[in-house]
Amino acid sequence: MTLERLQRAWQRSDSLFGHLEDAAWLEQPIALRQPFVFYLGHLPAFAWNQLGRGLLGRAAFREDLDLLFERGIDPTGVDAYTPQAAWPELGAVREYEERVRAELTDALSDPGFPRGGLPVVAMVVEHELMHHETLQYMFQQLDHGLKRAPPTPRRRPLDEADRPAGARAVEIPEGEVVLGARSGSLPFGWDNEFEAHRVHVSRFAIDALPVTNAEFREFVEAGGYAEPELWREEDWAWRVRACVHRPHSWRADGDGFRVRGLFEDVPFDRGARWPVMVSWAEASAYARWRGDRLPTEAEWHRAARGTPDGRDRRWPWGDEPPAERHGSFDFRERAPLPVGSHPQGASAWGVQELVGNGWEWTATAFAPFPGFAPLPRYSGYSADFFDGAHFVLLGASWATDAALLRPSFRNWFQPHYPHVFSKFRLCRG
């Protein structure tokens, strides 16, 4: 089963890279991300460095590529990106990938493979799954002419009657919620998921649905991007420096806008009920404009998993494993759906879409839980970002693998990064 999981991840990697035209490999559609050829090499390099060389102690066969593709970069905007003078030929990277996969297939097929190494295999699998989502939002920024679109769109249209008219506020009573996971309770978990602890949450209200493109357009047209009092000082300085005056996912179209999609830019009317995809800074400014705020990490979990009887649910809809009716995730779509498209995924309080259709920004800075201990084989995975300059996102997007939907999983980005498949909802009280 462990080898099968890894092989399924490789198959999806191959499928995703198959959307690139030959001329796209050295393209860098997001300035603070590497060119695509790096990620083609990074995925096998991470697997080899963790399993082949690290766990099994096998000799390097391309030490130069092990090092070159060892680790990506964090899009903080602080450290300048230094491009490689010359990347290896694509054929050489593919040969490296093929050799790594063959070596690891052989190792994992051996009955003598150490059972103590299974968590390392799980880490390698989840690393690949997370990069599938990274690749998707990189693809979204790439010129559409450099991509091979699939033959038919996976996104299914909804009837107008199925689309909710607007968000309503849901009152959440005070109570407690468990954040994180207990050591030994998961087959694998990243270090920032531990240790489980209870948090008291005061009474608050939260919108049942996330903010849509149509709702955010009111902020744009009211001049919200020109009002410094709505922004933190550092966020305003970024907005001015980067000339940000609308969501990065919108494209000018005459006097109006189109909304960026994976393989096409759609008319605004078609994407009006999609959740708006913006940075933390923009979401926070919108919330202030409305007289509201973003929920904290604990409030989000209370709204998602709390119940009137005081028992935490595993997922918002209950303890039943995630299914298609519960939300848009696990690559079932290739674009967002109108908000509220999965009412069967609502929490006990009636808050919808807390898992799927976009990661949700919170007001909580990414920080360790009590009892945090870094991963032995990847000590910098979380600790490098406990700097107060990254914020927690929770839930999932349409491009998040189902394996990452566990309630303790945390995502994080810096406040000016607009590319992640994100959304947000308003909170008050």
Provide the pLDDT for residue 168: 86
Report pLDDT for 312. Answer: 94
Residue 287's pLDDT is what?
Answer: 98
Q: How confident is the model at residue 167 (pLDDT cuts 50, 70, 90)?
A: low
Backbone angles phi, psi at 411, to 5 degrees: -110, 160
CB 332 within 8 A of CB 402: no
The predicted pLDDT at position 166 comes to 53
- CATH 3.90.1580.10 in the chain is located at 168-429
Condensed to tens digits (0 to 9), the pLDDT of residues 9-28 reads 999 999 999 999 999 999 99
Q: Distance (Å, rounded) from C-alpha 161 to C-alpha 77?
A: 43
Q: What is the pLDDT of residue 76?
A: 43
Give the start-end residues of each E strand in 69-203.
Answer: 169-172, 175-179, 197-201
Tokens, residue 375: 């991963």
Q: With residue 288 as reference, give the H or E element that holds it.
A: helix 280-289
**Residues of CATH 1.20.120.450 domain(s) within the chain?**
2-146
Q: What is the DSSP string of 293-330?
A: BPPPHHHHHHHHH--TTSPPPSBTTBSSPP-GGG-S-T
156 pLDDT exceeds 70?
Answer: no
The residues near 30 (Cβ < 8 Å, ≥ 6 apart) are 75, 137, 138, 141, 419
Range 2-146 classified under CATH 1.10.1520.10: no
Fold classification of 168-429 is paralog of FGE (formylglycine-generating enzyme) (3.90.1580)
359: nearest Cα among 333, 391, 381, 384: 391
Whether 81 shows a pLDDT value over 50: the answer reads no
Per residue in 281-293, pLDDT tens? 999 999 999 999 9
Q: Each residue of 114-134: pLDDT tens digit? A: 988 999 999 999 999 999 999
H or E stretch including 163? none
Q: What are 188-211's pLDDT values in tens digits?
A: 999 999 999 999 999 999 999 999
Strand partners, 176: 200
Residue 409 scores a pLDDT above 80: yes
Q: Can you give the pLDDT at residue 32?
A: 83
CA–CA distance, 164 with 54 (Å, rounded to integer): 51
pLDDT over 80 at 266, yes or no: yes
pLDDT at 160 over 70: no
Report pLDDT for 59.
Answer: 94
- Which pLDDT band, with edges at 50, 70 and 90, does 31 fall under? confident
